[in-house]
Amino acid sequence: MKKTIAFIGTILLILAAGVGSVKADEMKKATFAGGCFWCMQPEFTNIPGVSSVVSGYTGGTTKNPTYEQVSHGNTGHVEAIEVTYDPAKVKYNQLLEIFWQNIDPLDQYGQFCDKGEQYRAGIYYHDDEQKKAAEASKEKVAGMFKEPIATVIKPASEFYAAEDYHQDYNIKNKTRYKMYRFGCGRDARLDKLWSGKKLAD
């Protein structure tokens, strides 16, 4: 009897492990750049279906860049976030909607108070499906504004996680984060840009 129970337990563990591995294989990634990653990360963290959001750097040529290097603007990287999500629970189009409504799509020089190529807004697609969705969403956003849309759409490249102190910065440094966000005029500009506009059909 004990051997039977042990055998059944082993089988259940194997099946559970198998389900977990399949689930991991089904997860997808989305990469967005929207200026300071401190402000972009929390907008996606609590979305149902999103398992992780990592602040980091992408789009450049320097391997394993540091924050200091990227901040100087000579590595080609932008501050970005990498979102890992379950497409069965949250659609890529939903993530695109969140992205657009948290950036200034008209700014070609950076985002809000942060200027420079390292703060340029962009969508970095991981496959053709994401590319088509990104382009369609950009076209839709373009119809909402008179000015041209400055946000770029590029293929995803190597993503480097930022230093630990940048991860979940809004939680680790609540007061400083709030002061920075307010001082940067982010929310005031977002309200002016997106008030009354809806991306969802």
Known catalytic residues are 36
166 closest CA partner among 46, 94, 92, 65: 65
φ, ψ dihedrals at 55, nearest 5°: -80, 140
Q: For the chain, what's the residue count?
A: 201
Strands (E), the chain: 28-33, 50-58, 78-85, 110-111, 114-115, 122-125, 152-155, 159-161
118 closest CA partner among 72, 63, 78, 80: 78
Task: Please tell me the distance from the alpha carbon of residue 30 to that of residue 96, in angstroms, as a whole number.
Answer: 9
Distances (CA, A) of 194 to 17, 73, 132, 178: 44, 29, 23, 21
Q: Would you list the DSSP string of 37-57?
A: HHHHHHHHHTSTTEEEEEEEE
